[in-house]
C-alpha cells in the first residue's frame, strides 16, 4: 500500500499538541511520506537561518527507526539529563486497518456491492487517518526538538536533519533489544529503591507525587477515550449497513413505503458521515492529546528519575567523603567526586525545575486549545445531525 500526504491536510492534522516556540530560525516539517510495506519513509524538510547548517533549505528522507535512534542518543546524552526529552514517536501501526481490510474482503459475499464499496472507502479513510497521524507525531517530535533551546543545537539532531543520505541506522539486534529490556528492568528496580529516598526539595517532592498520580490517571483516560472513539466508529459502520439495507429495501419496494425507505437510507448515509467525523475528531482532539501527554509525562518522570539518581549519587558521594575523612585517605578525590555529584545534582535540579514548569504551561495551553476545538467540532457535528434529521422529518412529512 502506498499513500502520500498533501500539505493542506497536514495543516489540519497538526493540531495535537504542543505549544511550540515559533522560532523562525529553524522550521521543520514533513511534507511528504511514503508507506512501503512496513516501512514508512518520511521526507523531512528543514528551513533555517542558522549558520550551523550548510544550506538554508533542504530535505532528507528518514525512516521511523532514524527517529528512534535520534531519541535514544538524546536520552543517553549526559548533558541532557536535566531536560525532558520529547517522547519518541510511536511505531507506525498499520496492522489494524490492514486486518480490517482483510476481513472486509472475506465478508464481501455477504454485502451488496454498494455496501462493500462504502465499507472499503471507510477503511481507506481510516487507514489514511492513521497514516496522517503517524506523520504528525513524527513531525511533532522534530518540532519540539527544534524549538528547544538546547536540544536544537544537538549535533546528532543536526546530522539527522542535514545528512542527505540514508542514515541507515542499524536496527537494534537481539542483544541490544535484550539489553534495552534489561536496562528498563534495572531502572524500574532502581526507581523503587530511590523512591525511599528523602526528598530535599518540596517542589520536586510535589512534582513527583503529581506526575505519578497524573500518569496513572491519564493512562486510564487515554484507554477509555480510545474505547469511546471506537464505539463512535462502530456506530458509523452500523449506519453504513443500515443505510445499504434500507436502500436495497426501497429498491424492491413498489408501494408507498418506497419513498420513506429511500429517504431513510439517505439520512443514514449522511448520519454515517457525520458520525465518522465525530469519531475521527474525538480521536484527534481528545485521544491523541491524552496519548501524547501520557508519553510526555513519562518523559518528565524519566527526568525526575535521573535527578533522583543524581541525588542518590550525591548522597553516596557524601558518605564516601565522610568515610574518606574518617580514614583520612583519598580525601581530595572524594571531595572532588562529591563536588561533581553536587554540581550535577544542582544542575539537574535547576534545569529540571525549569523544564517541569514549562511542561506545565505547555500542557495547560495544549489542553485548552484541544478542548475548545473539540467542543466546537462536537457542536458543529451535532448541528449537522440536527439539520439532517430535521430535513428528513420534513421530507417524510411532506410525502
Positions that interact with other proteins (CB under 8 A): 210, 213-214, 217-218, 220-221, 224-225, 227-228, 230-232, 234-235, 238-239, 241-242, 245-246, 248-249, 252-257, 260-261, 264, 267, 360, 363-364, 367-368, 371-372, 375-376, 378-379, 382-383, 385-386, 389-390, 392-393, 396-397, 399
Which parts of the chain fold into alpha helices (H)? 7-13, 64-76, 95-106, 113-147, 155-162, 174-194, 202-252, 257-282, 288-327, 331-398
Q: How far is the CB of 88 from other proteins (least distance, A)?
A: 24
Select 28 or 264, whichever has its Cβ closest to other proteins: 264
Select 46 or 287, whichever has its Cβ closest to other proteins: 287
Q: Are 140 and 17 in contact (CB under 8 A)?
A: yes
Q: How far is the CB of 297 from other proteins (least distance, A)?
A: 11
Q: How far is the CB of 250 from other proteins (least distance, A)?
A: 9
Select 135 or 377, whichever has its Cβ closest to other proteins: 377
Distance (Å, rounded) from C-alpha 106 to C-alpha 294?
Answer: 37
Distance (Å, rounded) from C-alpha 289 to C-alpha 229?
Answer: 13
Q: How far is the CB of 74 from other proteins (least distance, A)?
A: 27
Select 189 or 372, whichever has its Cβ closest to other proteins: 372
| Other residues' Cβ atoms within 10 Å of the Cβ of residue 226 | 17
Q: How far is the CB of 150 from other proteins (least distance, A)?
A: 26
Select 231 or 336, whichever has its Cβ closest to other proteins: 231
Q: How far is the CB of 353 from other proteins (least distance, A)?
A: 15
Q: How far is the CB of 16 from other proteins (least distance, A)?
A: 16
Burial, 258: exposed, middle or buried (Cβ in 10 Å; 0-12, 13-18, 19+)?
middle
First to last CA, the chain: 47
CA 197 to chain centre: 32
101: Cβ contacts below 8 Å, ≥ 6 apart: 120, 123, 127
Q: How far is the CB of 239 from other proteins (least distance, A)?
A: 8
DSSP readout, 224-249? HHHHHHHHHHHHHHHHHHHHHHHHHH
Q: How far is the CB of 277 from other proteins (least distance, A)?
A: 14
Select 92 or 352, whichever has its Cβ closest to other proteins: 352
Q: How far is the CB of 327 from other proteins (least distance, A)?
A: 47
DSSP state of 286: I
From residue 306, alpha-carbon distances to 87, 194, 199, 303 in Å are 16, 10, 14, 5
Q: Are 156 and 73 in contact (CB under 8 A)?
A: yes
Select 151 or 294, whichever has its Cβ closest to other proteins: 294
Q: How far is the CB of 380 from other proteins (least distance, A)?
A: 9
| Other residues' Cβ atoms within 10 Å of the Cβ of residue 359 | 19
Select 70 or 271, whichever has its Cβ closest to other proteins: 271
Select 186 or 382, whichever has its Cβ closest to other proteins: 382
From residue 372, alpha-carbon distances to 193, 196, 201, 369 in Å are 42, 41, 36, 5
Select 65 or 378, whichever has its Cβ closest to other proteins: 378
Q: Using DSSP, state whether 57 is helix, strand or coil.
A: strand
Select 244 or 334, whichever has its Cβ closest to other proteins: 244
Burial, 374: exposed, middle or buried (Cβ in 10 Å; 0-12, 13-18, 19+)?
middle
CA 52 to chain centre: 29
The cell for 202 is 518540596
The residue written with cell numbers 485548552 in the block is: 368
Amino acid at each position: 500500500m502506498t499513500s502520500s500526504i498533501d500539505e493542506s491536510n497536514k495543516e489540519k492534522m497538526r493540531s495535537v499538541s504542543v505549544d511550540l516556540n515559533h522560532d523562525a530560525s529553524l522550521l521543520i516539517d514533513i511534507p511528504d511520506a511514503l508507506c512501503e510495506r512496513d516501512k514508512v519513509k518520511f521526507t523531512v524538510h528543514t528551513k533555517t537561518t542558522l549558520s550551523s547548517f550548510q544550506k538554508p533549505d533542504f530535505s532528507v528522507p528518514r525512516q521511523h527507526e532514524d527517529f528512534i535512534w535520534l531519541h535514544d542518543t538524546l536520552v543517553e546524552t549526559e548533558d541532557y539529563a536535566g531536560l525532558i526529552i520529547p517522547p519518541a514517536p510511536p511505531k507506525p501501526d498499520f496492522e489494524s486497518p490492514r486486518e480490517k481490510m482483510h476481513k472486509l474482503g472475506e465478508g464481501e459475499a455477504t454485502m451488496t456491492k454498494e455496501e462493500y464499496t462504502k465499507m472499503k472507502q471507510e477503511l481507506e479513510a481510516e487507514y489514511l487517518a492513521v497514516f496522517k497521524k503517524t506523520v504528525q507525531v513524527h513531525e511533532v517530535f522534530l518540532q519540539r526538538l527544534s524549538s528547544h533551546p538546547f536540544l536544537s543545537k544537538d549535533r546528532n539532531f543536526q546530522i539527522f536533519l542535514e545528512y542527505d543520505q540514508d542514515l541507515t541506522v542499524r536496527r537494534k539486534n537481539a542483544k541490544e533489544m535484550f539489553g534495552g529490556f534489561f536496562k528498563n528492568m534495572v531502572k524500574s528496580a532502581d526507581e523503587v529503591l530511590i523512591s525511599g529516598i528523602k526528598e530535599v526539595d518540596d517542589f520536586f517532592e510535589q512534582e513527583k507525587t503529581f506526575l505519578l498520580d497524573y500518569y496513572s490517571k491519564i493512562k486510564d483516560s487515554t484507554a477509555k477515550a480510545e474505547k469511546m472513539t471506537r464505539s463512535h466508529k462502530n456506530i458509523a459502520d452500523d449506519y453504513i449497513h443500515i443505510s445499504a439495507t434500507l436502500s436495497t429495501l426501497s429498491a424492491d419496494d413498489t408501494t408507498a413505503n418506497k419513498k420513506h425507505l429511500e429517504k431513510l437510507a439517505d439520512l443514514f448515509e449522511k448520519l454515517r458521515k457525520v458520525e465518522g467525523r465525530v469519531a475521527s475528531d474525538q480521536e484527534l482532539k481528545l485521544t491523541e492529546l491524552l496519548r501524547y501527554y501520557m508519553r510526555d509525562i513519562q518523559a518528565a518522570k524519566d527526568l525526575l528519575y535521573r535527578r533522583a539518581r543524581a541525588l542518590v549519587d550525591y548522597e553516596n558521594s557524601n558518605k564516601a567523603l565522610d568515610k574518606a575523612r574518617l580514614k583520612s585517605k583519598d580525601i581530595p578525590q572524594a571531595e572532588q567526586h562529591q563536588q561533581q555529584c553536587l554540581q550535577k545534582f544542582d544542575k539537574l535540579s535547576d534545569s529540571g525545575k525549569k523544564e517541569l514548569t514549562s511542561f506545565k504551561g505547555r500542557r495547560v495551553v495544549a489542553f485548552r486549545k484541544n478542548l475548545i476545538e473539540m467542543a466546537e467540532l462536537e457542536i458543529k457535528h451535532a448541528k449537522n445531525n440536527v439539520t439532517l434529521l430535521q430535513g428528513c422529518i420534513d421530507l417524510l412529512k411532506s410525502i
